[in-house]
Amino acid sequence: MILDLKGNQTTTVHKICISNFTCDKFLTIMSSKVKWTDNILFARTFETPDEAVDFAENKIVKEVIGDELELYIWTDTKLSIYESN
């Protein structure tokens, strides 16, 4: 059984992914390459904010992100991990 942050049963998984600031693309790894995808189901997910930040700090990932502003969001709500509920 999976519970949400309020203790309610849910079928979604509360993980973190990295999106661009407009939330229409998500970082993924496909065929050993980091790239953007428009399907959140293919997004690379993380358990903690520290894992996501460490991933984004990788040189290869920084090249893919470029000048794009990245946003760390919850995969089940698509809200910023830094927003308070």
**Domain layout of the chain by residue ranges:** 2-74
Run means of pLDDT, 10 residues per run, the chain, 85 residues: 61 83 91 94 93 96 93 91 76
Q: How many residues does the chain have?
A: 85
pLDDT at 39: 92
- 27 Cβ contact list (under 8 Å, min separation 6): 17, 18, 19, 34, 35, 36, 37, 43, 44, 55, 56, 61, 64, 65, 70
Q: Is-above-0.75 flag for pTM? A: yes
What's residue 10's pLDDT? 59
